[in-house]
Amino acid sequence: MAGPRRVVVTGMGAIGPVGLSAPDVWAAVRDGRSGVAPITRFDTDGFETTFAAEVKGFDAEGALGRKEARRMDRYAQYAVAAAREAAAQAGLSLAGDEAERVAVLVGTGVGGLETLEQGAATLAERGPRRLGPFFIPMLLPNMASGQVAIALGAKGSNFAPTSACASSAHAIGEAAGMIRRGEADAAVAGGGEAPITKLGVAGFNAMGALSTRNDDPAGASRPFDADRDGFVLAEGGAMLVLEERERAIARGATPLGEVVGYGSTDDANHIVQPAPGGEGAVRAMRMALTSAGIGPEDIDYVNAHGTSTPLNEKLETQALRTVFGDGLDRLPVSSTKSMTGHLLGAAAAIEAVICLAAIADSCVPPTTNFATPDPECRLDCVPNTARSAQLRHVMSSSLGFGGHNAVLIFAAPS
């Protein structure tokens, strides 16, 4: 009897605040370089927060073509560009009937917020007849997934998980499950997000969620540090090509890693605050370990959700302590959001790229801007400098508004 279908990663793509390709993103994160700077997208006069982690130097028309770029919101542009990079690395073939066995899942937290904001301004200033015909398609949260399928020719199952900051973790986990169950042979999965708009910044400021360290943007995202004061809004996109292992090897693809574990739960507690003790995250982590067939002692590194917000990190630390016990004292746990900022629905996808690159490079990325330990976050957070280490299994946690928890476990290729 044949064993369960295994799911490997054969391609990665990323567009982020620290780089315009997966290798560039990893190099910046490994070296501790920040992508946070004053906002250039709009005039920040009167805003509580005047900085963010913007994508820099991305030429959408050059990457996608003028016609296509003009018909996509920025969040979809990032997703499509990342998908093309991932597909090129994988050498993904979508000829003939194969296209019907390739799924696309692209998560996003807010979708086409820039398009929505611009459309509302046009309506208010110029009237209803001045809205363009692409206004609705461009703002839809499923349109990045649709555009990726169009760009690559993928005709399998296609949908867009929208679960706040867990969105792209759900996309990757559910895509891997489809391949495991035989519903697809391959999938392109990840996320895209572009929330750095007036509405986005003002809205998160109204919640009190963003850092207001305007005099030190690069030092503002400081996960697990006692002096943190909120997260840094970020944008970008990242995508993985997932394939059934035997199919990938048969066609000559090189596995970059394997998706071995996935857990998904909800807190059912509060719209933005995690459940006491991080119990929902605990269940997701344990579910991921069970599905991977390994124990807590087998995890070599955790890429934490670590948003640079006090309550979330206190409860995430409690969850990690519950799952790993005394082993947590010897386990490196870092947050790369200290450099990339928080990409909301695309955060898990860019962190998946980072986790897989960390495995390949035998390197644990740091938590930068760490100066003052928080006694409620007693972790080895790999402060400020990357660390060499052999990594067999890596866990990545994503915990979103609405109580959504999604945990992925990646393994070295074998």
Distance CA 341, CA 351 (A): 11
Confidence tier at 322 by pLDDT (50, 70, 90): very high
Q: In this predicted model, what pLDDT tens digit does every residue of 253-263 receive, in sequence order?
A: 999 999 999 99
Predicted pLDDT of residue 227 = 98
Confirm whether 305 is a catalytic residue.
yes
**Cβ–Cβ < 8 Å for 168, 161:** yes
Given the residues 170, 342, 393, 404, the one annotated as active site? 342
How many other CB atoms are there within 10 angstroms of residue 96's CB atom? 7
Is 96 a residue whose pLDDT tops 80?
Answer: no
Instruction: Tell me the CATH number for domain 7-250.
Output: 3.40.47.10
Strand order in the sheet with 257-266: 158-159, 102-107, 186-193, 236-244, 7-15, 257-266, 404-411, 393-400, 301-303, 333-334
Q: What is the DSSP string of 19-74?
A: BSSHHHHHHHHHTT----EE--SS--TT-S--EEB---S--HHHHH-HHHHHTS-H
Q: In this predicted model, what pLDDT tens digit does every residue of 332-353 receive, in sequence order?
A: 999 999 999 999 999 999 999 9
- The tokens for 108 are 């996003």
Distance CA 361, CA 391 (A): 9
CATH topology of domain 263-400: Peroxisomal Thiolase; Chain A, domain 1 (3.40.47)
Confidence tier at 101 by pLDDT (50, 70, 90): very high
Confirm whether 342 is a catalytic residue.
yes
Confidence tier at 2 by pLDDT (50, 70, 90): low
Where are the alpha helices (H) located in 127-242, listed in sequence order?
135-139, 143-152, 167-180, 198-207
Given the residues 305, 363, 393, 404, the one annotated as active site? 305
Query: What letter would DSSP give residue 300?
Result: -
CATH 3.40.47.10 range(s) for the chain read 7-250, 263-400
Q: In this predicted model, what pLDDT tens digit does every residue of 105-124 receive, in sequence order?
A: 999 999 999 999 999 999 99
Predicted pLDDT of residue 1 = 45
- Find the mean pLDDT for residues 84-106: 93
Distance CA 159, CA 142 (A): 6
Cβ-proximal residues to 79 (8 Å cutoff; 6+ apart), any chain: 106, 108, 144, 145, 147, 148, 190, 191, 192, 237, 239, 346
**pTM (2 d.p.):** 0.98
Question: What are the Cα distances from residue 285, in Å, to 291, 300, 396?
Answer: 10, 14, 9
- Among 106, 116, 263, 134, which residue's Cα sits nearest to residue 191? 106
- Find the mean pLDDT for residues 116-137: 97
Predicted pLDDT of residue 69 = 97
